[in-house]
Structure 1
Amino acid sequence: MQPATAQIDARKRSRGILVMMILSVLILIAFIISMNTGYIRLSPMDLLMTLFGSGTEKQSLILFDFRLPRIVISLLIGAGLAVSGCIIQGISRNALADPGILGINAGAGLMVMLFISFYPSTAAAPVFLLPVLALVGASLTAALIFVLSYKRHKGLSPIRILLTGIAVAAGMSAAMIVLTLKLSPDKYQFVATWLAGSIWGTNWKFVLSLLPWIVVLLPFVFYKARVMNVLNLGEELSIGLGAPVAREQLKLLAASVGLAASCVAVSGGIGFVGLIGPHLARRLVGPKHEMLLPTSALAGALLVIVADTIGRWILQPSEIPTGIVVAVIGAPYFLYLLARSKS
């Protein structure tokens, strides 16, 4: 039986690697298309010449100062939000959980909005401070949800987490609406765009502010894949197998909050990525987190870069915020999952 099991595992692993390679190729294709998407088009030859330093000054400005930072940020945001959602679904054992639905994104957004409301100029806001502020807001929100959802002898109830998160998110959203009433017209325009999920941080400073969070937290989460497999067995069985459940849940929740908060600080309120990415990955590679987590990252990155490219292309010269394009896909998918849910 053991050789047969090992053979099945090897087959699944090979399939998972193949799926990740296909997703990587699709991301590369979307990357190339996105570089040529915008009000000013660059032909494939212009694109190649500019990449190798032979383009005009205008082409270099368009590609390196405007498009490439936005594309890189889209990929980082997609990967971060998808892995964050995968962690929350694993901890709560709730297939409908994600940072947006549970209010973590709203908590991060509220803290950023508070800062923007009282800071003299949004344009001069310290770029590297925004992810830290978002982390504080998201951490406080996650702690509130955890306290309200946790029962001493029953642990974390998936339904309680979902309902508590929705209620907290509604409260945070209401607070943000109240804050917008006191903003100046310039700040209100910025906040309205931010709340819609527009990738507003579109220069290399924002890439550098987001990159350390992704580079540090993603490998840590991938390292904890085996732990997440054990936690998926349920709290009682996990404790029976010797896993320090509460401590590991807290570490993983902190990583999830860090990923979601840093992404929200740069991207605004992009929802559903943390829901759709892990679900697509689970359908493609199965529930084992060794394959599920990296596949979720790739699926989320592909979703956001495609959504951002569509948003920039469909109504040129204007653009649709990326969050709205993702929501058009995500809202029906969420209702479909809700209809299929047995609980």
Structure 2
Amino acid sequence: MGSSTIVGAERKKKTKGIVVLVVLGLLIIAAFIISMNTGFTKLSPLEVLRTLFGSGTPKQELILFEFRLPRIVIAVLIGAGLALSGCILQGVSRNALADPGILGINAGAGLMVMLFVSFFPTTTAAPIFLLPILALIGASFAAFLIYILSYKKGEGILPTRMLLTGIGIAAGISSAMIVLTLRLSPEKYQFVATWLAGSIWGSNWKFVWALLPFILVFVPLVLAKARVLNVLNLGDQTASGLGAPVERERMILLAAAAVLAGACVSVSGGIGFVGLIGPHLARRLVGPKHQFLLPASALVGSLLVLVADTLGRVILQPSEIPAGILVAILGAPYFLYLLSRTK
């Protein structure tokens, strides 16, 4: 009787998880459609539909295919990537406050973007495809520093030390970025200021193709590590006792988190708190098991960034509010709330 009750409960949780994922997917589709209709130049749903099937005017095709669609796709991709990165970091460190922005991984990627902007025109075609690589190097270096400084032999990664180390690294890198802005021309300084605010600056198809390989490779890799994250959440000693190669798996997962965060930051700018809010909201919806938590985090992150970017384009037309600012308006109070609840 007891075993059948457990099986029934597990089946109910699985059904709930599937329903939540389907609902989140439908909400993203709805937000996607609304975002295509939204902007300085209005396109009705019928005009959007006609344009998608090749019956729109040249102006409508230009607006939809060259301006809105690539930006919407990038918003979905970076939301998923940043939220997955945060979910990985929270699982590996067993720290509810872990996030690629708070821990300095985004700052490491941003430093490389700053160096890129300093030496290359932001509209040059060839370096666009180098940008995610450069951001990846910066994010990986920051993740390596966090790992080395927060690891203690015999105890693994200490959650509190990891958080404090990441905050310190983020502060140091941010200071270096401020110093670098002193050598920028006014045009490049304006670009950097917009980037730091979290504006999705890479809004054409070239940036989609530059980002897409990293998403297609590392998102399935992370989803395949769901059971490993479940085991790591039990603690290093328990995970080792169950036969898991703790250090190897931790390094693989941290590398994946750094790659996802770095690649996303290279085209999204300094959007923070997505990696914090996404996993927490997903955990409330589907529970702590990573088989559902990882995809739910990705969907929540995509929905959050897409909605923030869409609202940012319409609230103060013809001006825009960077998506990072709207996410921060939600994220900062939520971070303080989590901090107050953490022992």
TM-score scaled to structure 2, two decimals? 0.98
Q: How far does residue 213 in structure 1 lie from its aligned partner after superposition? A: 0.5
Q: How far does residue 186 in structure 1 lie from its aligned partner after superposition? A: 0.7
Aligned to 2:195: 194
1:163-220 Cα deviation digits (max 9, x unpaired): 0000000001000000011100011011110111100001111001111101110111
Match runs of 1:224-243 below 5 Å: 224-243=225-244
Q: Does residue 75 of structure 2 align to residue 70 of structure 1? A: no
Aligned to 2:115: 114
2:174 alignment partner AA: S
1:24 alignment partner AA: G
Secondary structure of the equivalent of 2:130?
A: helix
Aligned to 2:123: 123
Aligned to 1:178: 179
Aligned-partner Cα distance in 1 for 2:230–2:209: 32
1:324 alignment partner AA: I
Aligned to 1:218: 219
Aligned-partner Cα distance in 1 for 2:259–2:44: 39
Aligned to 1:269: 270
Aligned-partner Cα distance in 2 for 1:31–1:93: 33
Aligned-partner Cα distance in 2 for 1:138–1:244: 24
Q: How far does residue 161 in structure 1 lie from its aligned partner after superposition? A: 0.3
Displaced runs of 4 or more, over 6 A: none
Q: How far does residue 37 in structure 1 lie from its aligned partner after superposition? A: 1.1
Q: Does residue 56 of structure 2 align to residue 55 of structure 1? A: yes
Aligned to 1:150: 151
Q: How far does residue 63 in structure 1 lie from its aligned partner after superposition? A: 0.3
Aligned to 2:251: 250
Sequence identity percentage: 70
Q: Does residue 59 of structure 2 align to residue 94 of structure 1? A: no
Matched residue count: 341
Aligned to 2:329: 328
Aligned-partner Cα distance in 1 for 2:3–2:128: 54
Aligned to 1:308: 309
**Unaligned ranges ≥5, structure 2:** none
Aligned-partner Cα distance in 2 for 1:145–1:253: 10
Q: How far does residue 2 in structure 1 lie from its aligned partner after superposition? A: 2.2
Aligned-partner Cα distance in 2 for 1:133–1:47: 36
1:124 alignment partner AA: T
1:127-164 Cα deviation digits (max 9, x unpaired): 11000000000111111111111111211000000000
Aligned to 1:288: 289
Aligned to 1:6: 7
Aligned to 1:104: 105
1:218-276 Cα deviation digits (max 9, x unpaired): 11111110011000000011011110000000001111000000000000100000000
Q: How far does residue 9 in structure 1 lie from its aligned partner after superposition? A: 0.9
Aligned-partner Cα distance in 1 for 2:214–2:234: 29
Aligned-partner Cα distance in 1 for 2:261–2:25: 22
1:48-81 Cα deviation digits (max 9, x unpaired): 1111110000000000000000000000000000
Aligned to 1:159: 160
TM-score scaled to structure 1, two decimals? 0.98
Aligned-partner Cα distance in 2 for 1:110–1:82: 21
Q: How far does residue 32 in structure 1 lie from its aligned partner after superposition? A: 0.8
Aligned-partner Cα distance in 2 for 1:249–1:199: 31
**Unaligned ranges ≥5, structure 1:** none
